[in-house]
């Protein structure tokens, strides 16, 4: 999901749409309503495409995904969506090897992914993708669950899981070597790395049903982990910084959508309402394992996309503004889609 100075854009699997059936779909809110575009045919099983998104400095939107054995990439342009294949990989429809995307200066997209458990980074020059393999040695361990962001100095940051824990790697794109360190010896089933406006790095970590936030302490000279919640239903989480440099994330736990933010004095937990929303007539209770994707608009107002409704077999894709306020009537309900198709990601740009 993307917001900011642009209109919101949400990516999803249109498996139950009569028009965009079995396609990866990008829907953008316009003054005339939601405009949807089918980006790629999703052949085979209706499993998720594991989409992640980001924004360029000029407001363009980029998205990457894993489908069958291909890493796909698309970005918005004045001529519509431009779609390419980044690489063909060994792994097929495996969330552990799903890609992530960021933009270097000059709106140059870069994609990180895991192929046969080797971490790879590919940069695009509008003609071809140039790929290299992460060369940090972590014993005999291999890397999965990769997540990426780029800081203001064009340094590419990666977080990933190995057999001995979660690691962080950093490289200036003009240099040829990576530097890295272990973040935590614990395992992770999903990771989300983001840089704040002052290039502070944070990593959201789901380990089983537990959620934590890791950050690098310059005073201690090491990574510190803050446990945030247990009983997490969401399979994925995304970390976002607002323009003030405050880290925030959202997730589903015990049948409710939670929005957490640290404004400097500790983590605040806001819970979105459930049940019937009187203003819209929508059932805003989330599906128990829905992703709850967070973004900030140009005024630092949080926006959360998640699957909810009264029928778990046919959930509604909902958009909620400024928790704990319920979804706005004009933008709340996108459509009826299968839960497996949810794939959205936003970071500060």
Give the per-residue pLDDT at 151: 94
Task: Answer positive or negative: Cα dihedral of 204, 145, 315, 24.
Answer: positive
Cβ neighbours of 197 (radius 10 Å): 14
Give the per-residue pLDDT at 28: 80
Q: What is the DSSP string of 142-170?
A: --EEEEEEE-TT-EEEEEEEETTEEEEEE
> Looking at the domain assignment, is residue 38 inside a domain?
no
What is the domain range of residue 213? 44-341
Give the per-residue pLDDT at 137: 60
> Looking at the domain assignment, is residue 277 inside a domain?
yes
Give the per-residue pLDDT at 18: 55
| CB 293 within 8 Å of CB 1 | yes
The torsion angles phi and psi of 155, rounded to 5 degrees, stand at -85, 130
> Looking at the domain assignment, is residue 61 inside a domain?
yes
Domain count, the chain: 1
> Looking at the domain assignment, is residue 120 inside a domain?
yes
- CATH number (domain holding residue 214): 2.120.10.10
> Looking at the domain assignment, is residue 21 inside a domain?
no
Give the per-residue pLDDT at 100: 95
> Looking at the domain assignment, is residue 55 inside a domain?
yes
> Looking at the domain assignment, is residue 141 inside a domain?
yes
Give the per-residue pLDDT at 123: 92
Give the per-residue pLDDT at 348: 33
pLDDT digits (tens, 9 = 90+) for 26-73: 888 877 778 788 877 665 544 456 889 888 888 888 999 888 888 999
> Looking at the domain assignment, is residue 59 inside a domain?
yes
> In the chain, which residues have pLDDT < 50?
1-4, 45-47, 139-140, 324-349
């Amino acid at each position: 999901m993307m917001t900011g100075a642009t209109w919101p854009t949400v990516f999803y699997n249109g498996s139950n749409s009569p028009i965009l059936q079995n396609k990866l779909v990008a829907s953008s809110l316009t003054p005339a309503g939601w405009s949807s575009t089918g980006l790629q045919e999703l052949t085979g099983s209706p499993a998720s495409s594991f989409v992640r998104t980001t924004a360029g400095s000029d407001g363009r939107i980029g998205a990457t995904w894993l489908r069958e054995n291909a890493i796909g990439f698309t970005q918005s342009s004045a001529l519509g969506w431009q779609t390419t294949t980044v690489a063909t990989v060994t792994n097929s429809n495996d969330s552990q090897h799903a890609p992530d995307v960021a933009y270097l200066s000059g709106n140059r997209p870069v994609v990180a992914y895991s192929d046969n458990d080797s971490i790879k980074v590919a940069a695009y020059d509008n003609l071809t993708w140039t790929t290299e393999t992460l060369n940090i040695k972590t014993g005999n361990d291999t890397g999965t669950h990769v997540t990426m962001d780029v800081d203001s100095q064009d340094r590419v940051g990666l977080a990933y899981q190995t057999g001995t824990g979660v690691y962080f790697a950093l490289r200036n794109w003009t240099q040829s070597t990576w530097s890295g360190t272990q973040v935590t010896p614990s395992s992770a089933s999903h990771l989300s790395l983001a840089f704040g406006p002052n290039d502070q790095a944070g990593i959201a970590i789901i380990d089983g049903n537990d959620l934590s936030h890791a950050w690098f302490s310059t005073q201690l000279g090491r990574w510190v982990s803050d446990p945030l919640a247990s009983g997490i239903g969401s399979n994925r989480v995304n970390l976002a910084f607002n323009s003030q440099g405050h880290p925030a994330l959202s997730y589903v736990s015990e049948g409710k959508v939670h929005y957490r933010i640290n404004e400097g004095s500790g983590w605040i937990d806001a819970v979105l309402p459930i049940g019937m929303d009187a203003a819209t007539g929508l059932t805003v209770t989330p599906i128990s394992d829905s992703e709850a994707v967070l973004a900030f608009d140009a005024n630092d107002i949080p926006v959360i996309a998640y699957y909810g409704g009264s029928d778990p077999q046919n959930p509604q894709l909902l958009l909620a503004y400024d928790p704990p306020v319920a979804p706005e009537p004009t933008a709340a309900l996108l459509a009826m889609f299968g839960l497996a198709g949810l794939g959205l990601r936003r970071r500060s740009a």
